[in-house]
Amino acid sequence: MYKMLVIGLSAGGTPLIRQLLSALPKNYSLPIAIVAHLPEDHPNHLDKVLDAVTDLPVRTARDKEPIITGHVYIAPSGYHLLIERNHHFALSHDKKVKCVRPSIDVLFGSAAEVFENNLIAVILSGANSDGADGVAMVKKLGGLCIVLNPEDTVFNTMPNAVIRAAEVDYIASIEDIISLLVCVDEK
């Protein structure tokens, strides 16, 4: 049984994550943590953008905050988002990974260590390779790995990098990703 969903996105990913979250039922039980590459020097309003399209509670993650089922958490600009063993978030201002902070690899790697085969990782769209190492770690520890079909996005560098780095479970359209996520939550 899955206990956490982590999602990574960058260039071209905002419309996709809006579509995904708007399609999830209001009783969706998995907590969701999202890393989106956004400029550090600008306020991150992704929580407000996503809150407007879903019935799930959406907020920017805070340091030492407990993870609550059915909630959506956004990594704050300028901080890596990690999952601690006690199922709380941790924020870090450590150096950038693959030129970005927050890093998808950092979130996915820490979540994989905590949730192992109870984790779902999803990569949407992006113009760099962040997420490839994180998905490889999720796969190594038995988690479910889903990648948006590179042909379905304008910025396919990230999905292609992930597909090269790990033997993912699904390469799918956004509609099929949504169906998979709803299906695994109903089990």
Catalogue the active-site residues. Answer: 10, 37, 130
How far, in Å, CA of 161 to CA of 171, rounded? 13
Q: What angle do CA 99, 18, 64 make, to 5 degrees?
A: 60
- Cα gap 35→7, rounded to integer Å: 6
What are the angstrom distances between the C-alpha of 15 and each of 27, 63, 141? 22, 27, 30
CA dist 165 → 85, 110, 112, 124, 134 (Å): 26, 18, 16, 15, 9
DSSP 128: S
Separation CA 95–CA 145 (nearest Å): 26
Instruction: Determine the Cα–Cα distance for residues 25 and 49; give it in Å rounded to an integer.
Output: 18
